[in-house]
Amino acid sequence: MNDSVIDEGRRFTQSPLVKRHTLGMSFLLVVLLLIGSLLYSTLSWMWDDQRLPLSRIVIEGELQYVQPLDVQRALAQLEHVGTFMSQDIKDVQNAVEQIPWVSHAAIRKQWPETIKIFLTEYHAEAIWNGQWLLNEQGVVFNGDIGQLTEERVKLYGPKNSSEEVLAQWRDLSKKLKPLELEISSLVLNERRAWQIILANGIRLELGKGAIEERTKRFITLYQKLGNKTQKISYIDLRYDTGAAVGWFPEEELEQEIADD
């Protein structure tokens, strides 16, 4: 290699501009390494199971049936409760929504140790098949019937018929309201036949079809019977026209009046 070329290379590598550039790159590399190390240390500290434990739970919402102990028991079912950083709130939400009265749970974290749980309860519209409850949309849920503070209509039906039965109850209740009659229970049996038990004890057999027409026929008949309605045991409307009326025996009626 030519000596002049070597000398020129030496002068270039030893120039102040190249030295400053090299020092600047070295300094930047050191800074990036320090930042990376600090970031790694911080994340390791925050994700350490011994750091930032979720030690405080705040429960919010208009609650009547769900108790704090129910939430604690639900969270105890989690395999592992992580830290503020590591805990997946979806796992917490899934666990809390297993509580029978909980319709929906919204979860959020609050630095540095708190998890806030906002709960929405189901509203029990009716008792379903004697052991479950229905909400306003006809969704079946497993609330404790014994916790209800007011009476609910009792609805019965085959699997996947809860929405239909609830809608039928609402429709029939509106039609019977002018007579000041309330439905105690409504049954849709496996043969798709309808039966009503009124709050005054009268049983109505509506059968499979023409429910609206048969309901109107009952209303007309009930209005005509006047004071005799207290003697009625059942009314069978499963006919093309007319109805069969079952009466309480006089002695049984007298006993019922005496018991009142």
Q: Check residue 109 and give its pLDDT.
A: 84
Give the residue from 115, 104, 121 showing the smallest Cα distance to 62: 121
Q: How far is CA 9 from the centre of its chain?
A: 78
Helices 162-176 and 211-225 cross at an angle (nearest 10°) of 30
Q: Which CATH architecture has domain 56-121?
A: Roll (3.10)
Q: With beta carbons less than 8 A apart as the criterion, state whether 232 and 245 touch.
A: yes
Q: Report DSSP state, residue 83.
A: B
Q: Are strands 183-188 and 194-198 parallel, antiparallel or unpaired?
A: antiparallel
Q: What is the pLDDT along the chain (260 residues), one digit of tens a residue?
A: 555 544 555 554 556 665 666 666 766 777 677 776 666 554 554 444 555 566 678 999 999 999 999 999 998 888 766 666 667 889 899 999 999 999 999 999 888 778 899 999 999 999 999 999 999 999 999 999 999 989 999 999 999 999 999 999 999 999 999 999 999 999 999 999 999 999 999 999 999 989 999 999 999 999 999 999 999 999 999 998 889 999 988 645 444 434 44
pTM of this prediction exceeds 0.85: no
Q: Which residues of 129-160 are buried (b: 16+ CB within 10 A; e: fewer)?
A: beebbbbeebeebebeeeeeeeeebbbbbeee
> Which pLDDT value is given to residue 78?
83
Place of tokens 């609830």: 166
Topology at the third CATH level for domain 126-259:
Rossmann fold (3.40.50)
